[in-house]
Structure 1
């Protein structure tokens, strides 16, 4: 009886006798497996990247935004603050101000916040301290504002001048002393509305005094845990709806409510869905390469069977059983697929590593990828080898010996 060891040795000998043909046969498998491995790895890297990015702007955060300027006041602030599961909340106001430093002037987003914002938004200070509820005309600058927006860097205790345009069209200008500089968050979610590096923070009471307003643009709150964030968000939604006269039966009608809510979990879920769709699309394209590779293996194995018809006749005349001939050719096909899988896995992981470095993504290489690459290549090799091997096993030995 022909053992697995001899079958593998026989397969390697056959592959070695036709190196160029074998290399071309494995090329489709290499490309297909590499593409699948790279896409799955990049998908995992993007998912972790989004989690890290969202984590830089807050822990378990809930963003509540009014659809009209006068939606939220102090009563709504107290309502959100007293919701079970809320561990911190800051009212928000936001204006684009004309900021002057030395002789330079830039248009920069200025946010009015309370001292709780530092906690709920994960603000880390490079120098100085964050705004306090008792502060007056002080400002905390985002990292990019302090060091990149102007030709000259801005430091603690420097003064800047901010001009706001009020709702009636008049302007108000005020000098602010820099109280602190926010540490570089390295967040890349540009224009997300919540990144701290590119904005200036001032006390919300000061902003409302300057703008002569008594309302808030929205709230930035934090739930006690990620597990409870959806439940807490729903409770905030119910309380705000009741307070603002929205019937509970219309709670799911976003067009009716004068505000919108979004929490960290929902953002992560949306990001995950986007990366999942892109990953599935790319993986589907990669699977086409595997199909092409399997057809290539089958084609070459059929050619091999034809070329070795005489050899098959000799084997069967020497007493080789049908299943032994079948196993020889199946093992050869599997070895071809496995070699392609090993090379494809190495190529895919290397490609993903290089792309991660190029795009600044975290390196995520699940061990399951290696097993997946091996399994896919083994399966493709087995599938592609069954028909040619079966054809070889069913050959009549007399006719095979007469073949030239």
Structure 2
């Protein structure tokens, strides 16, 4: 029988504390709150990162293949042999979907307003899942199905600036020689919350850009590639780059939006600071609780030493006791943290300014691996921290301890 564990269990079962009871409650509460704050913080940050990343990918895809001459320009350069290129790229493992696009800068003019925008032309192979998620009202145009379609999808931001609504028609001017004009009709309004896209992007059938640029019906401005695993972005991008011709280039979603992803990466630093601070708070409170337990049970320590118990065996009694308190605190911390996360995830009670945070509510991402990692890390750190102060037991004189009241 493990005598240290047996004694610790008896001490826990008796639950007889004198002056240590308030300190123990404070220690349990500190561990609970620290763990809850860590769980909530990580769930919120991961929620932010996932939501914003999904929105950016929805507009830009994971990887774009285009002519080297394109650079960062909104004026697409022709990309020929689209079908053969799609077949070549589809051979790369990890590819989820490939779709065609083209972009062209223009100016929307109404009776009283004017706005510079980018017309993004799409084809029938475009995955509209993301657009359905951000569609505010109306419907999504049927891309690439009908000839001479003048239907477009615009953002709520552009609609408000130009005082436009569903069913309204407007003229869009394209600066070229000669200046070309297209009369377009709004059938849908979207709202992604990402100002970088909402302020400029108008979605239409690619046929408009093909005719404006005098391209053939099979010519496009580039290919957008969606992949299964974001962690493989760089490796898949490199493999695609090696397969395509020397006159073509690839750009990842990170290349196209460096500032946004730098900001998201900065949030990881914030999480690390919060995790470290909360772990320190929890560990310090458990050390204080252990020292108080040792002081309160010094007579028991003296008796055990007098009976021939080794220092390490006695130390284990108090470590086991403290681990019980840690687990109790962690149980309440998990209940509190996960309950608050689930409530926010279900009801979106905490709202945000969409113009600043790209979304109207605090997003929550509950990931079982993150939960297990935080719990495991908390338990191990507290356990290791308890070993050092338990060394105080070896310094206790059994005769003085037995006489101590």
Match of 1:380 in 2: 381
Quote the Cα distance in structure 2 between the aligned partners of 1:70 and 1:29.
53
Quote the Cα distance in structure 2 between the aligned partners of 1:145 and 1:403.
76
Q: Which stretch of the first structure deviates more once superposed, 349-358 or 279-288?
A: 349-358
Q: 1:189 aligns with which of 189, 194, 206?
A: 194
Q: Does the aligned pair in 2 maintain the 1:147–1:154 contact within 8 Å?
A: no
Q: Does the aligned pair in 2 maintain the 1:41–1:365 contact within 8 Å?
A: yes
Unaligned runs of 5+ in 2: 91-97, 133-137, 351-359
Quote the Cα distance in structure 2 between the aligned partners of 1:402 and 1:145.
79
Q: CA deviation at 1:77?
A: 1.9
Over 3 Å counting, the alpha-carbon distance change for 1:342 and 1:235 in structure 2 is same
Match of 2:396 in 1: 395
Q: 1:142 aligns with which of 151, 154, 178?
A: 154
- Write out per-residue CA displacement over residues 227-257 of structure 1, whole angstroms, 9 at most, x where no aligned residue: 85543344446233xxxxxxxxxxxxxxxxx
In the TM superposition, 1:204-243 aligns within 5 A as 204-208=209-213, 219-223=221-225, 230-236=238-244, 238-240=246-248
Match of 1:34 in 2: 36
Quote the Cα distance in structure 1 between the aligned partners of 2:328 and 2:258.
38
Q: CA deviation at 1:62?
A: 1.0
1:283 aligns with 2:272: yes
Q: Which stretch of the first structure deviates more once superposed, 393-402 or 81-90?
A: 81-90
Q: 2:89 aligns with which of 85, 92, 102?
A: 85
Q: Does the aligned pair in 2 maintain the 1:66–1:72 contact within 8 Å?
A: yes
Q: CA deviation at 1:110?
A: 4.4
Q: Does the aligned pair in 2 maintain the 1:62–1:262 contact within 8 Å?
A: yes
Quote the Cα distance in structure 1 between the aligned partners of 2:40 and 2:335.
10
Quote the Cα distance in structure 1 between the aligned partners of 2:174 and 2:262.
40
Q: CA deviation at 1:12?
A: 5.7
In the TM superposition, 1:167-316 aligns within 5 A as 174=181, 176-178=183-185, 181-182=187-188, 184=190, 187-192=192-197, 198-199=201-202, 201=204, 203-208=208-213, 219-223=221-225, 230-236=238-244, 238-240=246-248, 261-264=250-253, 275-316=264-305
Over 3 Å counting, the alpha-carbon distance change for 1:402 and 1:233 in structure 2 is same
Over 3 Å counting, the alpha-carbon distance change for 1:326 and 1:274 in structure 2 is same
Q: CA deviation at 1:387?
A: 3.3
1:325 aligns with 2:319: no
Over 3 Å counting, the alpha-carbon distance change for 1:9 and 1:57 in structure 2 is farther
Quote the Cα distance in structure 1 between the aligned partners of 2:273 and 2:385.
19
Secondary structure (helix, strand or coil) at the match of 2:246 reads: helix
Quote the Cα distance in structure 1 between the aligned partners of 2:238 and 2:164.
45
Q: Which stretch of the first structure deviates more once superposed, 20-29 or 138-147?
A: 138-147
Match of 1:161 in 2: 171
Unaligned runs of 5+ in 1: 241-259
Q: Does the aligned pair in 1 maintain the 2:118–2:200 contact within 8 Å?
A: no
Q: Does the aligned pair in 2 maintain the 1:38–1:348 contact within 8 Å?
A: yes
Quote the Cα distance in structure 1 between the aligned partners of 2:315 and 2:61.
60
Match of 2:142 in 1: 129
Quote the Cα distance in structure 1 between the aligned partners of 2:273 and 2:391.
30
Q: CA deviation at 1:326?
A: 1.9
- Write out per-residue CA displacement over residues 254-274 of structure 1, whole angstroms, 9 at most, x where no aligned residue: xxxxxx742358679997776
- Write out per-residue CA displacement over residues 170-200 of structure 1, whole angstroms, 9 at most, x where no aligned residue: 976x46252x62474x5333314xx699525
Q: Does the aligned pair in 2 maintain the 1:338–1:377 contact within 8 Å?
A: no
Q: Does the aligned pair in 1 maintain the 2:62–2:224 contact within 8 Å?
A: yes
Give TM-score scaled by structure 1 length.
Answer: 0.70
Over 3 Å counting, the alpha-carbon distance change for 1:52 and 1:340 in structure 2 is same
Secondary structure (helix, strand or coil) at the match of 2:117 reads: strand
Match of 2:135 in 1: none
Match of 1:250 in 2: none
1:66 aligns with 2:70: yes
Q: Does the aligned pair in 1 maintain the 2:79–2:221 contact within 8 Å?
A: yes
- Write out per-residue CA displacement over residues 102-129 of structure 1, whole angstroms, 9 at most, x where no aligned residue: x55342514163x52x534636681653
Number of aligned residue pairs: give it: 362
Q: CA deviation at 1:331?
A: 1.4
Secondary structure (helix, strand or coil) at the match of 2:139 reads: strand
